């Protein structure tokens, strides 16, 4: 592993102009506040990137646990400062690799994890006490967290030292993505169980990443992304408060996940507006007193939906612009997509270029030397105010319709996103919106042939390993553990200790999820026309 490169900035320009920590005031002449102070419009930390750069994550996972582990080691060696795990669809949907529903999907869009053995292979030789690991997982988030905790425990790393994030955001799955299993109410129960368990046992773990990313990928506008994400956040906080959790304790470990598109200044303003809105919501609505519970900390990822299969090298430029907007907007963590992701899984070369993009921004451009460097811009402050105004209007409409869950069950939120997506497609077809290389400035070209593809042998080998893992178990122990899960799900006790015990006794992900399905049932989406 390479050593983490610490910044040694001079906080001055190449012309030897000394730089202040931050600049102001706002466009109207009024004070826009200071970074690290309520309502955090200008950033959640006083010094932001002057202290240390954002966490540079690269989202990765494909094929077998062994292959993914090798990619993580490569990324760490090249300077990644945090891991981000992509799981295949069966893992996301709660099926073991040997289930009929997994046919053709094992290891294809992420790594296949069915057993504790798979997780041990995925994390082999990685310094779990030192790194921060993000897992993009929702319906089975509690199970994957249990795997992670057990692997760490076996390696002598206590849960209190683990740092990372599980996405664990089911509301946006119903709204935009679709990898849900259970209906909203039992899903909220599992989520709040995780809140409580981690607050008491894994204090440095971010228990949820409330995601606007997938809402934006589904076609929403920037305003809708902010509004629907924060509305989901309100729902989670209210559910936790209703369960008796202390907002000043659990809310400090909430995190958010936003998209970054090409409209440079709108994206920066979006982040500033979201921070301010969340701080006010937490203070005035939920009466948070701890400043940490009011801070909107977020991970960002450049927009996969903006990347084109045509002229894929152009995507390097798009990624750089989006990453720069994210940094100026004050992200805590960033993933940069690879130029070939519109064609397939990232090659090692493309993933390296994506990481180098972040490093160039961090170490060469000087944008990290000043906190909120365009704060006070007439344009940015006006955009920030307008995004906040429109997003708040959306939140008020949602509450008038009975809240997020009612709007999900009726399909209202989904319909709003579909309408925005339809309008965007019309704009592309009419060339009101230009995408270079796709609907303008096109050229004849052959698509690249060096695209990473997952071999069918990955599935065959995974099934063999899983069969051997299951054959080594005592069936009576497995049955007893499944009964404990069923009993806990039917009652009110916290599910996390039960899931951890099951994982320690070699119950698989699919078996655990299957037992929960029997108790909680399945969610069926309303069809809106």
pLDDT over threshold 60, residue 26? no
Q: At what angle do helices 222-242 and 378-400 cross, to 10 degrees?
A: 50
| Owner of token pair 């039917």 | 490
pLDDT over threshold 50, residue 194? yes
* Residue 20 to residue 84: CA distance in whole angstroms: 34
pLDDT over threshold 50, residue 438? yes
The CA-to-CA distance between both ends of the chain, in Å, stands at 53
* Residue 293 to residue 397: CA distance in whole angstroms: 25
Q: Which domains does the chain have, with CATH numbers?
A: 48-400 (3.20.20.240)
Question: How would residue 42 be classed by pLDDT, with cut points 50, 70 and 90?
Answer: very high
* Residue 249 to residue 325: CA distance in whole angstroms: 31
* Residue 214 to residue 233: CA distance in whole angstroms: 15
Question: How would residue 524 be classed by pLDDT, with cut points 50, 70 and 90?
Answer: confident
Output b/e per residue, 283-309; b: 16+ Cβ within 10 A: beebebeebebbbbbbbbbbbbebbbb
Number of Cβ within 10 Å of residue 23's Cβ equals 15
Q: Give residue 4's pLDDT.
A: 47
pLDDT in tens, 304-323: 999 999 999 999 999 999 99
Is 0.85 surpassed by the pTM of this model? yes
Q: Which of 64-73, 156-165, 375-384 has the highest mean pLDDT?
A: 156-165
């Amino acid at each position: 592993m390479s050593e983490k490169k610490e910044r040694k900035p001079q906080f001055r320009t190449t012309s030897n102009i000394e730089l202040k920590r931050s600049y102001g005031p706002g466009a109207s002449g009024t004070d826009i506040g200071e970074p690290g102070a309520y309502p955090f419009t200008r950033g959640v930390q006083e010094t932001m990137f002057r202290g240390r750069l954002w966490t540079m994550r690269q989202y990765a996972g494909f094929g077998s646990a062994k292959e993914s582990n090798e990619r993580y080691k490569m990324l760490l060696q090249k300077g990644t400062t945090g891991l981000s795990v992509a799981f295949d669809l069966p893992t996301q949907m709660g099926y073991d690799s040997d289930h009929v529903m997994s046919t053709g999907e094992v290891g294809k869009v992420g790594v296949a994890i069915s057993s504790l053995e798979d997780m041990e292979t995925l994390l082999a030789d990685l310094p779990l006490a030192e790194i921060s690991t993000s897992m993009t997982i929702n319906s089975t988030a509690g199970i994957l967290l249990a795997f992670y905790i057990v692997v760490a425990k076996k390696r002598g790393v206590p849960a209190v030292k683990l740092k990372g994030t599980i996405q664990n955001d089911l509301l946006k799955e119903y709204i935009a993505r679709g990898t849900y299993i259970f209906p909203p109410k039992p899903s909220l129960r599992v989520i709040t169980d995780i809140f409580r368990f981690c607050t008491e046992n894994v204090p440095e773990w971010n228990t949820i990443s409330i995601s606007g990313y997938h809402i934006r990928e589904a076609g929403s506008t920037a305003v809708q992304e902010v509004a629907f994400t924060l509305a989901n956040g309100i729902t989670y906080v209210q559910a936790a408060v209703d369960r008796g959790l202390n907002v000043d304790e659990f809310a400090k470990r909430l995190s958010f996940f936003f998209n970054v598109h090409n409209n440079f200044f709108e994206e920066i303003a979006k982040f500033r507006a979201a921070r301010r809105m969340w701080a006010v919501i937490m203070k005035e609505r939920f009466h948070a007193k701890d400043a940490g519970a009011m801070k909107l900390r977020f991970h960002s990822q450049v927009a996969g939906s903006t990347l084109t299969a045509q002229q894929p090298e152009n995507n390097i430029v798009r990624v750089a612009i989006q990453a720069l907007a994210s940094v100026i907007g004050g992200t805590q963590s960033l993933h940069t997509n690879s130029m070939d992701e519109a064609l397939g899984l990232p090659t090692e070369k493309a993933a390296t270029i994506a990481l180098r993009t972040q490093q160039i921004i961090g170490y060469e451009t000087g944008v990290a030397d000043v906190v909120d460097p365009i704060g006070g811009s007439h344009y940015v402050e006006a955009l920030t105010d307008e995004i906040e105004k429109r997003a708040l209007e959306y939140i008020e409409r949602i509450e008038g319709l009975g809240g997020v869950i009612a709007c999900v069950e009726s399909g209202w939120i989904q319909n709003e996103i579909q309408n925005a997506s339809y309008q965007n497609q019309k704009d592309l077809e009419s060339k009101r919106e230009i995408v270079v290389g796709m609907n303008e400035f096109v050229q004849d070209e052959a698509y690249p042939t060096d695209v990473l593809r997952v071999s069918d042998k990955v599935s065959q080998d995974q099934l063999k390993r899983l069969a051997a893992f299951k054959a080594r178990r005592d069936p009576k122990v497995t049955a007893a553990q499944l009964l404990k899960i069923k009993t806990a799900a039917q009652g009110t006790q916290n599910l996390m200790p039960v899931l951890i015990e099951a994982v320690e006794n070699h119950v698989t992900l699919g078996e655990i999820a299957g037992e929960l399905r029997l108790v909680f049932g399945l969610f069926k989406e309303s069809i809106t026309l």
